[in-house]
Structure 1
Amino acid sequence: MALNEKIIKEKAAQLQKCSKEKITINPLSNDLKGITIEDAYKIQLAQVRNKKMNGEIVIGKKIGLTSKSMQNILGIDEPDYGHLFDTMIINGNNKIDLESLIQPKCEPEIAFVLSKKLKGPGVTVSDVLSSTRGVLPAIEIIDSRIKDWNLKIQDTIADNASSSMFVLGNNLIPLENINLQLTGLVLRKNGEIIKTATSAEVMGNPAEAVAWLANKLAEFDVALEKDEIILSGSLTRAYEVNEGDNYCAIFDRIGSVNLVFN
Protein backbone atom coordinates (compact mmCIF):
# COMPACT_ATOMS: atom_id res chain seq x y z
CA MET A 1 0.00 0.00 0.00
CA ALA A 2 1.34 3.41 -0.98
CA LEU A 3 2.26 5.81 1.80
CA ASN A 4 -0.25 8.54 2.52
CA GLU A 5 0.62 12.21 2.13
CA LYS A 6 0.85 12.78 5.88
CA ILE A 7 3.58 10.16 6.33
CA ILE A 8 5.44 11.40 3.24
CA LYS A 9 5.55 14.94 4.64
CA GLU A 10 6.56 13.70 8.10
CA LYS A 11 9.47 11.65 6.78
CA ALA A 12 10.61 14.47 4.51
CA ALA A 13 10.64 16.84 7.48
CA GLN A 14 12.48 14.26 9.59
CA LEU A 15 15.26 13.89 7.00
CA GLN A 16 15.59 17.66 6.66
CA LYS A 17 15.88 17.97 10.44
CA CYS A 18 18.72 15.43 10.31
CA SER A 19 20.52 17.55 7.73
CA LYS A 20 20.14 20.68 9.81
CA GLU A 21 21.10 19.14 13.16
CA LYS A 22 23.74 16.72 11.80
CA ILE A 23 22.08 13.63 13.24
CA THR A 24 20.97 10.28 11.85
CA ILE A 25 17.85 8.15 12.10
CA ASN A 26 17.08 4.48 11.72
CA PRO A 27 16.36 3.27 8.17
CA LEU A 28 12.97 4.33 6.85
CA SER A 29 12.69 0.86 5.37
CA ASN A 30 12.66 -0.53 8.93
CA ASP A 31 9.98 1.83 10.19
CA LEU A 32 7.80 1.79 7.08
CA LYS A 33 7.28 -1.82 6.10
CA GLY A 34 6.34 -2.07 2.45
CA ILE A 35 7.73 1.32 1.44
CA THR A 36 8.18 1.30 -2.33
CA ILE A 37 10.66 3.03 -4.61
CA GLU A 38 7.80 5.27 -5.76
CA ASP A 39 7.09 6.19 -2.13
CA ALA A 40 10.77 7.00 -1.63
CA TYR A 41 10.84 9.37 -4.59
CA LYS A 42 7.73 11.08 -3.21
CA ILE A 43 9.59 11.69 0.08
CA GLN A 44 12.53 13.07 -1.88
CA LEU A 45 10.26 15.37 -3.90
CA ALA A 46 8.55 16.61 -0.74
CA GLN A 47 11.97 17.78 0.46
CA VAL A 48 12.63 19.40 -2.91
CA ARG A 49 9.41 21.39 -2.58
CA ASN A 50 10.34 22.44 0.96
CA LYS A 51 13.80 23.58 -0.10
CA LYS A 52 12.42 25.57 -3.02
CA MET A 53 9.92 27.25 -0.71
CA ASN A 54 12.89 28.26 1.45
CA GLY A 55 14.63 29.88 -1.51
CA GLU A 56 16.98 27.12 -2.61
CA ILE A 57 17.34 26.65 -6.37
CA VAL A 58 17.53 23.35 -8.23
CA ILE A 59 20.59 23.52 -10.50
CA GLY A 60 20.81 19.93 -11.65
CA LYS A 61 20.60 16.25 -10.82
CA LYS A 62 22.90 13.52 -9.57
CA ILE A 63 22.89 9.90 -10.62
CA GLY A 64 23.78 7.25 -8.09
CA LEU A 65 24.31 3.50 -8.00
CA THR A 66 25.56 3.33 -11.58
CA SER A 67 27.81 0.31 -10.96
CA LYS A 68 26.46 -3.22 -11.30
CA SER A 69 28.20 -4.25 -8.09
CA MET A 70 26.30 -1.66 -6.04
CA GLN A 71 23.05 -2.49 -7.79
CA ASN A 72 23.54 -6.17 -6.96
CA ILE A 73 24.21 -5.36 -3.30
CA LEU A 74 20.94 -3.43 -3.09
CA GLY A 75 18.98 -5.88 -5.24
CA ILE A 76 18.10 -3.41 -7.99
CA ASP A 77 18.62 -3.26 -11.74
CA GLU A 78 18.88 0.48 -12.38
CA PRO A 79 20.51 3.57 -10.82
CA ASP A 80 18.76 6.19 -8.74
CA TYR A 81 18.81 9.97 -8.83
CA GLY A 82 18.64 13.02 -6.62
CA HIS A 83 18.42 16.79 -6.95
CA LEU A 84 21.30 19.28 -6.81
CA PHE A 85 20.76 22.69 -5.22
CA ASP A 86 22.72 25.91 -5.40
CA THR A 87 23.53 25.48 -1.70
CA MET A 88 25.47 22.27 -2.42
CA ILE A 89 28.30 23.75 -4.49
CA ILE A 90 31.61 24.19 -2.71
CA ASN A 91 33.04 27.49 -3.93
CA GLY A 92 36.28 29.33 -3.35
CA ASN A 93 39.20 27.41 -1.91
CA ASN A 94 37.78 23.90 -2.36
CA LYS A 95 37.75 23.28 1.39
CA ILE A 96 34.93 21.89 3.49
CA ASP A 97 34.47 21.73 7.24
CA LEU A 98 33.82 18.17 8.41
CA GLU A 99 31.60 19.55 11.15
CA SER A 100 29.12 20.58 8.45
CA LEU A 101 28.70 16.92 7.46
CA ILE A 102 27.46 13.76 9.19
CA GLN A 103 29.15 10.61 7.87
CA PRO A 104 30.64 11.76 4.57
CA LYS A 105 32.32 9.88 1.76
CA CYS A 106 33.64 11.20 -1.54
CA GLU A 107 33.42 10.04 -5.13
CA PRO A 108 35.12 11.20 -8.37
CA GLU A 109 32.68 11.90 -11.18
CA ILE A 110 32.29 13.55 -14.57
CA ALA A 111 29.80 16.43 -14.55
CA PHE A 112 27.80 17.31 -17.67
CA VAL A 113 26.48 20.81 -18.36
CA LEU A 114 23.55 20.82 -20.75
CA SER A 115 23.28 23.22 -23.66
CA LYS A 116 19.59 22.55 -24.25
CA LYS A 117 16.56 20.80 -22.85
CA LEU A 118 16.67 17.01 -22.82
CA LYS A 119 13.43 15.09 -22.38
CA GLY A 120 12.62 11.41 -22.68
CA PRO A 121 11.43 8.88 -23.46
CA GLY A 122 13.75 7.55 -26.12
CA VAL A 123 16.81 9.66 -25.25
CA THR A 124 20.03 8.07 -26.53
CA VAL A 125 23.73 8.63 -25.91
CA SER A 126 23.85 10.61 -29.16
CA ASP A 127 21.07 12.87 -27.89
CA VAL A 128 23.01 13.46 -24.68
CA LEU A 129 26.20 14.32 -26.53
CA SER A 130 24.43 16.76 -28.84
CA SER A 131 22.75 18.40 -25.83
CA THR A 132 25.93 18.83 -23.77
CA ARG A 133 27.83 22.12 -23.66
CA GLY A 134 30.79 20.45 -21.99
CA VAL A 135 32.03 18.37 -19.09
CA LEU A 136 33.87 19.12 -15.86
CA PRO A 137 35.84 17.07 -13.35
CA ALA A 138 33.91 16.73 -10.11
CA ILE A 139 34.14 15.33 -6.62
CA GLU A 140 30.84 14.60 -4.95
CA ILE A 141 30.50 14.34 -1.20
CA ILE A 142 27.82 11.84 -0.42
CA ASP A 143 26.39 11.75 3.08
CA SER A 144 23.59 9.83 4.74
CA ARG A 145 21.00 10.83 7.25
CA ILE A 146 20.48 7.09 7.80
CA LYS A 147 22.43 5.63 10.73
CA ASP A 148 25.68 3.84 9.81
CA TRP A 149 24.85 3.84 6.09
CA ASN A 150 22.50 0.92 6.78
CA LEU A 151 20.61 1.40 3.55
CA LYS A 152 18.11 -0.21 1.29
CA ILE A 153 17.39 1.44 -2.05
CA GLN A 154 14.27 3.11 -0.63
CA ASP A 155 16.34 4.78 2.09
CA THR A 156 18.89 6.37 -0.21
CA ILE A 157 16.26 7.55 -2.70
CA ALA A 158 14.18 9.17 0.05
CA ASP A 159 17.39 10.80 1.33
CA ASN A 160 17.89 12.59 -2.01
CA ALA A 161 20.18 9.81 -3.24
CA SER A 162 22.49 10.36 -0.25
CA SER A 163 23.58 13.69 -1.67
CA SER A 164 25.34 16.44 0.23
CA MET A 165 27.90 18.71 -1.49
CA PHE A 166 30.05 18.79 -4.62
CA VAL A 167 32.96 20.65 -6.14
CA LEU A 168 33.63 21.23 -9.84
CA GLY A 169 36.77 21.94 -11.82
CA ASN A 170 37.27 25.43 -13.18
CA ASN A 171 37.24 24.82 -16.94
CA LEU A 172 34.32 23.51 -18.96
CA ILE A 173 35.71 21.14 -21.59
CA PRO A 174 33.90 20.62 -24.94
CA LEU A 175 33.30 17.01 -25.92
CA GLU A 176 35.40 17.17 -29.09
CA ASN A 177 38.38 14.80 -28.86
CA ILE A 178 37.09 13.24 -25.62
CA ASN A 179 36.19 9.56 -25.61
CA LEU A 180 33.73 9.32 -22.75
CA GLN A 181 33.96 5.54 -22.77
CA LEU A 182 37.72 5.54 -22.20
CA THR A 183 38.45 8.64 -20.13
CA GLY A 184 41.09 7.74 -17.57
CA LEU A 185 41.01 8.72 -13.91
CA VAL A 186 43.76 8.92 -11.32
CA LEU A 187 42.50 9.46 -7.79
CA ARG A 188 44.98 10.72 -5.21
CA LYS A 189 44.56 10.93 -1.45
CA ASN A 190 47.07 13.10 0.38
CA GLY A 191 49.35 12.92 -2.66
CA GLU A 192 49.30 9.14 -3.04
CA ILE A 193 47.54 7.32 -5.87
CA ILE A 194 44.78 5.19 -4.34
CA LYS A 195 42.81 4.26 -7.47
CA THR A 196 42.89 4.36 -11.25
CA ALA A 197 39.81 3.77 -13.35
CA THR A 198 38.12 4.61 -16.63
CA SER A 199 34.79 6.24 -17.31
CA ALA A 200 33.48 2.93 -18.66
CA GLU A 201 32.87 2.06 -15.00
CA VAL A 202 29.78 4.28 -15.25
CA MET A 203 27.33 2.14 -17.24
CA GLY A 204 29.90 1.71 -20.01
CA ASN A 205 29.72 5.44 -20.74
CA PRO A 206 28.68 8.30 -18.41
CA ALA A 207 26.52 9.67 -21.23
CA GLU A 208 24.52 6.44 -20.97
CA ALA A 209 23.77 7.33 -17.36
CA VAL A 210 22.55 10.78 -18.38
CA ALA A 211 20.33 9.19 -21.04
CA TRP A 212 18.92 6.86 -18.39
CA LEU A 213 18.16 9.86 -16.19
CA ALA A 214 16.36 11.75 -18.94
CA ASN A 215 14.23 8.70 -19.71
CA LYS A 216 13.53 8.00 -16.03
CA LEU A 217 12.40 11.58 -15.44
CA ALA A 218 10.06 11.29 -18.42
CA GLU A 219 8.00 8.85 -16.34
CA PHE A 220 7.12 11.89 -14.19
CA ASP A 221 6.79 14.24 -17.20
CA VAL A 222 9.97 16.03 -16.12
CA ALA A 223 12.80 17.14 -18.42
CA LEU A 224 16.45 17.97 -17.90
CA GLU A 225 16.71 21.69 -18.58
CA LYS A 226 19.28 23.84 -20.35
CA ASP A 227 22.24 24.76 -18.09
CA GLU A 228 21.54 21.97 -15.60
CA ILE A 229 24.55 20.23 -14.06
CA ILE A 230 24.39 16.45 -14.09
CA LEU A 231 26.71 14.42 -11.87
CA SER A 232 26.83 11.24 -13.92
CA GLY A 233 27.97 8.68 -11.34
CA SER A 234 31.16 7.63 -9.62
CA LEU A 235 34.05 5.94 -11.41
CA THR A 236 35.12 4.30 -8.14
CA ARG A 237 33.72 3.15 -4.85
CA ALA A 238 33.00 5.84 -2.26
CA TYR A 239 35.94 6.73 0.00
CA GLU A 240 35.62 7.67 3.65
CA VAL A 241 37.14 10.98 4.67
CA ASN A 242 38.93 12.23 7.76
CA GLU A 243 40.13 15.59 8.98
CA GLY A 244 43.01 16.87 6.87
CA ASP A 245 42.38 14.58 3.90
CA ASN A 246 43.09 16.08 0.47
CA TYR A 247 41.49 14.24 -2.44
CA CYS A 248 42.44 15.05 -6.03
CA ALA A 249 40.67 13.56 -9.06
CA ILE A 250 42.62 13.83 -12.32
CA PHE A 251 40.73 13.02 -15.52
CA ASP A 252 42.45 12.52 -18.88
CA ARG A 253 41.74 15.52 -21.17
CA ILE A 254 39.09 16.86 -18.78
CA GLY A 255 41.31 18.19 -16.02
CA SER A 256 41.54 17.89 -12.27
CA VAL A 257 39.72 18.97 -9.14
CA ASN A 258 40.70 18.71 -5.51
CA LEU A 259 38.93 18.90 -2.19
CA VAL A 260 40.33 19.34 1.33
CA PHE A 261 38.46 18.26 4.44
CA ASN A 262 39.13 20.46 7.48
Structure 2
Amino acid sequence: MRTPSDLDRSATAADTATIAAANLLSAAARSGIPCAPVRDLIGAGDVAAAYAVQERLTAERITAGATIVGRKIGLTSAAVQRQLGVDQPDFGVLFDDMHYNQSTPVPLSRLLQPKVEAEIAFVLAQDLADGPLDDEQVRNAVDYAVAALEIVDSRIACWDITFGDTVADNASSGLFVLGSQRRALDAFDPVSAQMQMSIDGIGVSSGTGAACLGDPLRALAWLASTTREFGQPLRAGQIVLSGALGPMAAIVAPGTVTADITGLGSVTAAFIQE
Protein backbone atom coordinates (compact mmCIF):
# COMPACT_ATOMS: atom_id res chain seq x y z
CA MET A 1 0.00 0.00 0.00
CA ARG A 2 1.46 3.33 -1.04
CA THR A 3 1.62 6.09 1.57
CA PRO A 4 0.23 9.61 0.98
CA SER A 5 3.80 10.96 0.68
CA ASP A 6 4.61 8.35 -1.98
CA LEU A 7 1.56 9.49 -3.93
CA ASP A 8 2.61 13.14 -3.64
CA ARG A 9 6.11 12.50 -5.02
CA SER A 10 4.74 10.88 -8.16
CA ALA A 11 2.05 13.49 -8.73
CA THR A 12 0.89 14.23 -12.26
CA ALA A 13 -1.96 16.44 -13.44
CA ALA A 14 -4.39 13.57 -12.81
CA ASP A 15 -2.85 12.98 -9.39
CA THR A 16 -3.42 16.63 -8.54
CA ALA A 17 -7.15 16.13 -9.04
CA THR A 18 -7.00 12.92 -7.00
CA ILE A 19 -5.27 14.71 -4.13
CA ALA A 20 -7.77 17.58 -4.24
CA ALA A 21 -10.73 15.19 -4.13
CA ALA A 22 -9.21 13.18 -1.28
CA ASN A 23 -8.50 16.34 0.69
CA LEU A 24 -12.10 17.51 0.24
CA LEU A 25 -13.53 14.22 1.50
CA SER A 26 -11.01 13.98 4.33
CA ALA A 27 -11.85 17.50 5.53
CA ALA A 28 -15.56 16.67 5.50
CA ALA A 29 -14.96 13.56 7.60
CA ARG A 30 -12.89 15.50 10.14
CA SER A 31 -15.22 18.49 10.41
CA GLY A 32 -18.53 16.64 10.24
CA ILE A 33 -19.65 19.06 7.53
CA PRO A 34 -20.55 17.42 4.18
CA CYS A 35 -18.73 18.71 1.13
CA ALA A 36 -19.56 19.32 -2.51
CA PRO A 37 -19.43 16.36 -4.91
CA VAL A 38 -15.96 15.44 -6.13
CA ARG A 39 -17.08 14.44 -9.63
CA ASP A 40 -16.13 17.83 -11.06
CA LEU A 41 -12.57 17.13 -9.97
CA ILE A 42 -12.21 13.49 -11.06
CA GLY A 43 -15.13 12.86 -13.42
CA ALA A 44 -18.47 11.25 -12.68
CA GLY A 45 -17.66 7.98 -14.41
CA ASP A 46 -13.87 7.72 -14.24
CA VAL A 47 -13.60 4.47 -12.29
CA ALA A 48 -9.79 4.48 -12.14
CA ALA A 49 -9.70 8.02 -10.77
CA ALA A 50 -12.38 7.28 -8.20
CA TYR A 51 -10.55 4.23 -6.86
CA ALA A 52 -7.31 6.25 -6.83
CA VAL A 53 -9.00 8.69 -4.44
CA GLN A 54 -10.25 5.78 -2.32
CA GLU A 55 -6.73 4.30 -2.26
CA ARG A 56 -5.28 7.59 -1.08
CA LEU A 57 -7.84 7.92 1.72
CA THR A 58 -7.18 4.30 2.72
CA ALA A 59 -3.45 5.03 2.93
CA GLU A 60 -4.19 8.03 5.14
CA ARG A 61 -6.29 5.90 7.47
CA ILE A 62 -3.60 3.24 7.74
CA THR A 63 -0.93 5.86 8.42
CA ALA A 64 -3.15 7.18 11.24
CA GLY A 65 -3.29 3.70 12.81
CA ALA A 66 -6.39 2.06 11.36
CA THR A 67 -6.35 -1.61 10.35
CA ILE A 68 -8.18 -3.12 7.38
CA VAL A 69 -10.55 -5.90 8.51
CA GLY A 70 -12.41 -6.53 5.26
CA ARG A 71 -14.38 -5.07 2.38
CA LYS A 72 -17.93 -3.94 1.65
CA ILE A 73 -19.75 -4.39 -1.63
CA GLY A 74 -22.06 -1.62 -2.81
CA LEU A 75 -24.46 -0.99 -5.68
CA THR A 76 -25.60 -4.62 -5.78
CA SER A 77 -29.19 -3.60 -6.53
CA ALA A 78 -30.16 -3.37 -10.20
CA ALA A 79 -32.48 -0.45 -9.38
CA VAL A 80 -29.68 1.56 -7.74
CA GLN A 81 -27.33 0.77 -10.62
CA ARG A 82 -29.90 2.15 -13.05
CA GLN A 83 -30.33 5.23 -10.89
CA LEU A 84 -26.60 6.01 -11.04
CA GLY A 85 -26.22 4.93 -14.66
CA VAL A 86 -23.75 2.11 -14.01
CA ASP A 87 -23.72 -1.61 -14.74
CA GLN A 88 -21.41 -2.81 -11.98
CA PRO A 89 -21.12 -2.88 -8.19
CA ASP A 90 -18.40 -1.05 -6.30
CA PHE A 91 -16.40 -1.82 -3.18
CA GLY A 92 -15.00 -0.05 -0.15
CA VAL A 93 -12.68 -0.84 2.73
CA LEU A 94 -13.75 -1.88 6.24
CA PHE A 95 -11.53 -0.66 9.07
CA ASP A 96 -11.38 -1.93 12.62
CA ASP A 97 -12.84 1.25 14.11
CA MET A 98 -15.95 0.95 11.91
CA HIS A 99 -17.13 -2.15 13.78
CA TYR A 100 -19.64 -1.65 16.61
CA ASN A 101 -20.83 -4.46 18.86
CA GLN A 102 -24.58 -4.87 19.27
CA SER A 103 -24.19 -3.98 22.95
CA THR A 104 -22.48 -0.65 22.21
CA PRO A 105 -24.76 2.27 21.26
CA VAL A 106 -23.79 4.16 18.12
CA PRO A 107 -23.41 7.91 18.73
CA LEU A 108 -25.06 9.92 15.97
CA SER A 109 -22.21 12.41 16.32
CA ARG A 110 -19.96 9.80 14.70
CA LEU A 111 -21.95 10.11 11.46
CA LEU A 112 -22.94 12.82 8.99
CA GLN A 113 -25.96 11.58 7.00
CA PRO A 114 -26.51 7.99 8.10
CA LYS A 115 -28.70 5.41 6.46
CA VAL A 116 -28.92 1.74 7.41
CA GLU A 117 -29.33 -1.42 5.38
CA ALA A 118 -29.52 -5.11 6.24
CA GLU A 119 -26.93 -7.41 4.73
CA ILE A 120 -25.23 -10.77 5.02
CA ALA A 121 -21.64 -10.71 6.24
CA PHE A 122 -19.26 -13.46 5.14
CA VAL A 123 -16.17 -14.20 7.21
CA LEU A 124 -13.44 -15.94 5.23
CA ALA A 125 -11.53 -19.03 6.29
CA GLN A 126 -9.25 -19.02 3.23
CA ASP A 127 -7.52 -16.47 1.04
CA LEU A 128 -9.11 -15.68 -2.31
CA ALA A 129 -5.88 -14.70 -4.00
CA ASP A 130 -5.13 -17.55 -6.42
CA GLY A 131 -7.02 -20.01 -8.56
CA PRO A 132 -10.09 -19.59 -10.77
CA LEU A 133 -12.23 -17.88 -8.11
CA ASP A 134 -15.17 -19.90 -9.37
CA ASP A 135 -18.35 -20.64 -7.43
CA GLU A 136 -16.91 -23.70 -5.71
CA GLN A 137 -13.72 -21.96 -4.59
CA VAL A 138 -15.54 -18.89 -3.32
CA ARG A 139 -18.12 -20.93 -1.42
CA ASN A 140 -15.45 -23.14 0.15
CA ALA A 141 -13.50 -20.07 1.28
CA VAL A 142 -16.34 -18.89 3.56
CA ASP A 143 -15.97 -19.81 7.22
CA TYR A 144 -19.45 -18.62 8.18
CA ALA A 145 -22.19 -16.11 7.45
CA VAL A 146 -23.77 -13.75 9.96
CA ALA A 147 -26.53 -11.13 9.86
CA ALA A 148 -25.23 -7.57 9.53
CA LEU A 149 -26.31 -3.97 9.54
CA GLU A 150 -24.28 -1.59 7.43
CA ILE A 151 -24.61 2.04 8.43
CA VAL A 152 -23.82 3.81 5.20
CA ASP A 153 -22.85 7.46 5.24
CA SER A 154 -21.78 10.11 2.77
CA ARG A 155 -19.29 12.89 3.17
CA ILE A 156 -21.00 14.54 0.17
CA ALA A 157 -23.83 16.95 0.93
CA CYS A 158 -27.41 15.69 0.49
CA TRP A 159 -26.17 12.36 -0.89
CA ASP A 160 -25.74 14.12 -4.25
CA ILE A 161 -23.60 11.33 -5.67
CA THR A 162 -22.65 9.69 -8.94
CA PHE A 163 -20.69 6.46 -9.30
CA GLY A 164 -17.40 8.35 -9.14
CA ASP A 165 -18.44 10.22 -5.98
CA THR A 166 -19.44 7.13 -4.03
CA VAL A 167 -16.40 5.08 -5.04
CA ALA A 168 -14.06 7.89 -4.08
CA ASP A 169 -15.87 8.23 -0.74
CA ASN A 170 -15.00 4.62 0.20
CA ALA A 171 -18.27 3.39 -1.31
CA SER A 172 -20.22 5.67 1.05
CA SER A 173 -19.18 3.56 4.01
CA GLY A 174 -19.80 4.40 7.64
CA LEU A 175 -20.00 1.71 10.30
CA PHE A 176 -21.20 -1.88 10.63
CA VAL A 177 -22.70 -4.20 13.26
CA LEU A 178 -22.64 -8.00 13.19
CA GLY A 179 -25.17 -10.41 14.67
CA SER A 180 -24.27 -13.26 17.01
CA GLN A 181 -25.55 -16.34 15.13
CA ARG A 182 -22.92 -17.83 12.85
CA ARG A 183 -23.95 -20.27 10.13
CA ALA A 184 -21.80 -22.35 7.81
CA LEU A 185 -23.01 -22.37 4.22
CA ASP A 186 -24.03 -26.01 4.43
CA ALA A 187 -26.63 -24.89 6.99
CA PHE A 188 -27.66 -21.61 5.36
CA ASP A 189 -28.67 -20.62 1.83
CA PRO A 190 -27.89 -16.91 1.24
CA VAL A 191 -29.96 -16.54 -1.94
CA SER A 192 -33.22 -17.66 -0.34
CA ALA A 193 -32.81 -15.61 2.86
CA GLN A 194 -35.75 -13.36 3.75
CA MET A 195 -35.08 -10.04 5.48
CA GLN A 196 -37.25 -7.70 7.54
CA MET A 197 -35.85 -4.49 9.05
CA SER A 198 -37.53 -2.14 11.52
CA ILE A 199 -36.78 1.07 13.39
CA ASP A 200 -38.31 1.16 16.87
CA GLY A 201 -40.59 -1.70 15.88
CA ILE A 202 -41.89 -0.07 12.68
CA GLY A 203 -41.07 -1.91 9.46
CA VAL A 204 -38.89 0.12 7.10
CA SER A 205 -37.40 -2.42 4.68
CA SER A 206 -37.79 -5.96 3.41
CA GLY A 207 -36.08 -8.06 0.80
CA THR A 208 -34.31 -11.29 -0.05
CA GLY A 209 -30.86 -12.61 -0.75
CA ALA A 210 -31.75 -12.66 -4.44
CA ALA A 211 -31.87 -8.83 -4.38
CA CYS A 212 -28.08 -8.83 -3.99
CA LEU A 213 -26.78 -9.41 -7.55
CA GLY A 214 -29.12 -12.39 -7.74
CA ASP A 215 -27.12 -14.21 -5.05
CA PRO A 216 -24.90 -12.77 -2.26
CA LEU A 217 -22.26 -15.38 -3.11
CA ARG A 218 -22.17 -14.00 -6.65
CA ALA A 219 -21.42 -10.60 -5.12
CA LEU A 220 -18.62 -12.16 -3.09
CA ALA A 221 -17.17 -13.77 -6.23
CA TRP A 222 -17.27 -10.41 -8.03
CA LEU A 223 -15.43 -8.79 -5.13
CA ALA A 224 -12.81 -11.54 -4.98
CA SER A 225 -12.04 -11.13 -8.67
CA THR A 226 -12.06 -7.33 -8.60
CA THR A 227 -9.89 -6.87 -5.52
CA ARG A 228 -7.38 -9.34 -6.96
CA GLU A 229 -7.22 -7.23 -10.11
CA PHE A 230 -6.44 -4.24 -7.88
CA GLY A 231 -3.62 -6.20 -6.26
CA GLN A 232 -5.45 -6.37 -2.92
CA PRO A 233 -6.99 -9.87 -2.77
CA LEU A 234 -9.31 -10.99 -0.02
CA ARG A 235 -7.60 -12.75 2.87
CA ALA A 236 -8.57 -15.34 5.47
CA GLY A 237 -10.19 -13.75 8.51
CA GLN A 238 -11.56 -10.77 6.62
CA ILE A 239 -15.20 -9.70 6.80
CA VAL A 240 -17.14 -9.06 3.60
CA LEU A 241 -20.46 -7.20 3.65
CA SER A 242 -22.54 -8.56 0.79
CA GLY A 243 -24.58 -5.53 -0.19
CA ALA A 244 -28.14 -4.69 0.78
CA LEU A 245 -30.94 -7.25 0.78
CA GLY A 246 -33.54 -4.47 0.62
CA PRO A 247 -33.94 -0.68 0.55
CA MET A 248 -31.90 1.40 2.98
CA ALA A 249 -33.59 3.60 5.58
CA ALA A 250 -32.44 6.98 6.86
CA ILE A 251 -31.51 7.44 10.52
CA VAL A 252 -32.85 10.86 11.46
CA ALA A 253 -33.15 10.54 15.26
CA PRO A 254 -32.09 8.27 18.12
CA GLY A 255 -33.68 4.83 17.89
CA THR A 256 -33.11 1.11 17.57
CA VAL A 257 -32.75 -0.70 14.27
CA THR A 258 -33.34 -4.44 14.09
CA ALA A 259 -33.02 -6.71 11.08
CA ASP A 260 -34.22 -10.32 11.01
CA ILE A 261 -32.75 -12.61 8.37
CA THR A 262 -34.06 -16.16 8.04
CA GLY A 263 -31.39 -18.64 9.02
CA LEU A 264 -29.19 -16.01 10.64
CA GLY A 265 -31.44 -14.58 13.35
CA SER A 266 -31.41 -10.88 14.17
CA VAL A 267 -28.94 -8.03 14.45
CA THR A 268 -29.56 -4.78 16.31
CA ALA A 269 -28.02 -1.32 16.50
CA ALA A 270 -29.09 1.40 18.94
CA PHE A 271 -28.42 5.01 17.91
CA ILE A 272 -28.06 7.65 20.61
CA GLN A 273 -27.64 11.42 20.73
CA GLU A 274 -24.67 12.52 22.80
The TM-score bracket by the shorter chain reads: over 0.9
1:179-222 per-residue CA deviation (whole Å, 9 max, x = no partner) reads 11101112122112333321111011101001001111122232
Cα distance between partner residues in 2 of 1:20 and 1:91: 23
The answer (yes or no) to whether the contact 1:18–1:145 under 8 Å persists in 2 is yes
Q: Does 1:82 align with 2:92?
A: yes
| Unmatched runs of 5 consecutive residues or more in structure 2 | 1-11
The answer (yes or no) to whether the contact 1:22–1:102 under 8 Å persists in 2 is yes
Residue 53 of structure 2 is matched in structure 1 by 43
Alignment TM-score, normalising by the size of structure 1: 0.94
**What value does the CA root-mean-square deviation take over the aligned residues?**
1.7
Residue 240 of structure 2 is matched in structure 1 by 230
Q: Does 1:260 align with 2:267?
A: no
Residue 212 of structure 1 is matched in structure 2 by 222
Q: Does 1:53 align with 2:87?
A: no
Q: Does 1:249 align with 2:256?
A: no
Shift of 1:243: 1.7
In the alignment, which of 129, 143, 161 is matched to residue 133 of structure 1?
A: 143
Residue 108 of structure 1 is matched in structure 2 by 118
Greater shift after overlay, 28-37 or 5-14?
28-37
1:108-140 per-residue CA deviation (whole Å, 9 max, x = no partner) reads 000000001013674223222100000111000
Q: How many residues align?
A: 261
Q: Which amino acid aligns with 2:73?
A: I
1:68-102 per-residue CA deviation (whole Å, 9 max, x = no partner) reads 11111111111000000001001362421112211
Cα distance between partner residues in 2 of 1:99 and 1:7: 30
Cα distance between partner residues in 1 of 2:44 and 2:81: 20
Q: Which amino acid aligns with 2:242?
A: S
| Unmatched runs of 5 consecutive residues or more in structure 1 | none
Cα distance between partner residues in 2 of 1:104 and 1:33: 25
The answer (yes or no) to whether the contact 2:44–2:162 under 8 Å persists in 1 is no
Cα distance between partner residues in 2 of 1:227 and 1:187: 27
Indicate the percent of aligned positions where both proteins have the same amino acid. Answer: 33
Structure 1 residue ranges, 4+ long, deviating more than 6 angstroms after superposition = none
Alignment TM-score, normalising by the size of structure 2: 0.90
